[in-house]
Chain A
Amino acid sequence: MELLANLQLGFEVALTLQNVLYCFLGVFLGTLIGVLPGIGPVATIAMLLPATFALPPVSALIMLAGIYYGAQYGGSTTAILVNLPGEASSVVTCLDGYAMAQQGRAGPALAVAALGSFFAGTVATLILAMFAPPLAEVAFKFGPAEYFSLMVLGLIAAIVLARGSLIKAIAMILLGLLLGLIGADTNTGQFRFTFGLPQLADGIGFVVVAMGLFGFSEIIANIERRARREVVMAKITSLFPTREDLKASWKAVLRGTAIGALLGILPGGGATLGSFAAYTLEKKVAKDPSRFGKGAIEGVAGPESANNAGAQTSFIPLLTLGIPANAVMALMVGAMTIHGITPGPQVMTERPELFWGMIASMWIGNLLLVVLNLPLIGIWVKLLSVPYRILYPAILLFACIGVYSLNNSAIDVALALAFGFLGYLFIKLDCEPAPLLLGFVLGPMMEENLRRALLLSRGDPTVFVTRPLSLALLVVAAALLVIVVVPAVRRKREEAFQE
């Protein structure tokens, strides 16, 4: 068994006292920055890069990786407690997680998120160990046409994501698409909606929009319903999930893990889609979809598992090919280069101790995260009983620091505030911000890949149906659309009959 021998090598590397310590340091730092809204892993890893010069390369990379997936864990904490998503992937956690917190069930939500993430992390690490090279090949089958079809599927899923009015959901998606257009067009270099401001040349950051629409707007809205909030504090019941909670969530965890692991492999934004897709799936398979958005525990368990599974499998393109899938991975490439390792397809064979050591450390890191996070739940929940007038200014302050640290740009903070007021308007109008964010993320990628696919096909639009993977994705999208539309049609017909 080559795999066992490799894993043994990996654990021998990862289980030395020094490496366990650095792994712990990494996940601990990651949890911390994940909890501080907006301060992301990119800024943290960049700051710590020089500090790793003195470490052996394996220890350095183990620590940096720990910061990344530790932050994914921590990010869900603020999403659940105070409706502040620090990462694209925690946006959907806000929907039901925050609703649970408002019902005094923040403890179970946090616990299920942690347990689900641990399970997902374990499975995804195993997948990484067993199938990394063949899975990397799958990622290469995804050309621009396939990405476009995947984005179409994602946008249709966004409609399912919304609760309430379908028209409003579509309007929000369109608004998201428009906001996503801001910045230089990749294909022609044209500036769109930048109003001559160079700061807008690369578009608006996702965290800026998410922070404003979810976090800031919620804080504004909370000021007017303060009385209700104090009632919430009083009725915190148990910290840990009940038997029914666990029964309701284990399937969601399984499904979330599968979806997240699968989408995480794709370097072009797949990881972002994972938690959205998991949420959509849970809502579709649920017996009573109307519970979603009002504190359904599956709505936390599924996306959180997907999110963590994706965080692990997104290492596949980096570890097998040396190609970074996102900004954090790009930094890891930088870290490897500084340590004299040139990331590329040979790392796996030339430096097996590094490849397998990192994989083994990810499992250890996930274990450490559960051990670290379960006892912390009590503390986090207590944090909610801090008086509103103290807690919220503090959150606002940290959020502003976080937004500023993204690009060291004051304009970003101002923009986040503007989105905060916009989000407050949306709350008043009863419009959901989640579809807007999905449109915002998917729109630019969709356009980019559509035009790239057409460039490569020399303008022939049939590429989308002649390439089998792309066709399959479009068929799924069409099926999903039918599922969404048909009940609506049926209802209309019934209404018509009644009249």
Chain B
Amino acid sequence: MAEFCRDPPYPSRRTWLSAVLFVFGACVASTALSQDYPSRPIRIIVPFPAGGTADLLARQIGQIMSEALRQQVLIENRAGAGGNIGADLAARSKPDGYTLLMGTVSTHAINPNLYPKMPYDPVKDFAPVTMVARMPNLLVVHPSVPANNVAELIALAKARPGALAFASAGNGTTQHLAGELFKKMAGVDMIHVPYKGNAPAVTDLVGGQVQVMFDNIPVSLQQVRAGKLRALAVTGPARSPVLPELPTLAEAALPGYSITSWFGLYAPSGTSPQIIERLNREANKALATAQIRRRLTDQGIEPAGGTPGQFADFMRAELVKWGKIVRESGARVD
């Protein structure tokens, strides 16, 4: 629409008239559209490979939403470029409510601050539907590391600068940036060792090739329970119900430290508010089912939910927060 109004410098009466008619028509069409919405299958683009947390969240919620919406919800994995490829595709899709995106902290808070050239604008190109889930990262060490709490780890790192190495799932991932923030706030030096994804990083951590990791909680929780890794703290603002005895990093040693990974459902901007409202209602209902809540909390994931407005506010704050972390960490992707 903006294009339409901007283009002719001196709009004649006829163009004005047709513009008014167009807007009117579009409004009628969109109400009609949202009344019998959805009349065909909805696709949720997941900008990461099948089997990851974002994918599983989309599949589980999609399943329940499809029953309520009486339409199939299809999951389409479009991985690549740290999630940018899938998110860009969603941004450029028709805003008709039939294409949604399972966005994450990476696609909508970290990448815009990390990549020098972004194919989409995380705020302008998307209409937030709802936050889906959030989870803290877990500070874990190999059992051979002589540190039983955060203070001891910091003391160890200070005593032997550069002797400890921390693994991550790649440059600019939360695992990487959580480590860099830790280094900065604790004033210690550790070597960053990036891997291609979480699994190989955890393998080398369990094997003792690297000593420290700020891992996603669902991955390393079981290794901690089996005694293959030692957990020292969670990175979030509050303790995790799955490991209630474990302090947050802020409580333990670094006041103000807070890192949370999150997932949220987006529609392309321009999607009608009625459709957003409907999707928000169904997504919140799906997140409230006992089965989903139990499955997620068992893994250390916190089901979120809430209004589109709350999610938009949260995301804006996150963009600022991660901008600062990315700048201070010196992480780069180009």
Contact = CB atoms under 8 A, between A and B. Distances in A.
Nearest to B210: A456
Contacts of B77: 46, 407-408
A55 to B, nearest CB: 14
Contacts, number: 150
B323 interface: no
B27 interface: no
A331 B199 CA distance: 12
A42 B206 contact: no
Interface in A419-452: 448, 452
Interface of A: 42, 45-46, 49-50, 53, 139-144, 184, 186-191, 196, 198-199, 201-202, 267-268, 317, 321-325, 327, 330-334, 337-338, 340, 342-346, 407-409, 448, 452, 455-456, 458
B228 A456 contact: no
B218 A337 contact: yes
Contacts of A452: 193, 195
Interface residues of B, number: 58
A143 B222 contact: no
Contact of B222 (A187, A191, A324, A345): A345
Nearest to B202: A323
Contact of A199 (B59, B85, B223): B85
Nearest to A340: B295
Contacts of A46: 50-51, 55, 75, 77
B223 A345 contact: yes
Interface in B45-89: 49-52, 55-56, 59-60, 62-63, 75-82, 84-85, 88
B208 A140 contact: yes
B202 to A, nearest CB: 6
B299 interface: yes
A187 to B, nearest CB: 6
Contacts of A191: 333-334
Contact of B88 (A49, A198, A345): A198
Nearest to B60: A338
Interface of B: 49-52, 55-56, 59-60, 62-63, 75-82, 84-85, 88, 117, 119, 162, 165, 170-172, 191, 193-196, 199-200, 202-204, 206-210, 218, 221-223, 225-226, 228, 294-295, 298-299, 331-334
B221 A342 contact: yes
B55 A334 contact: yes
Contact of A189 (B78, B203, B222, B334): B334
Contact of A331 (B50, B80, B194): B50
Given A202-B79, A331-B51, A408-B76, A186 B202 contact: no
Given A201-B81, A333-B51, A345 B199 contact: no
A144 B162 CA distance: 19
A456 B209 contact: yes
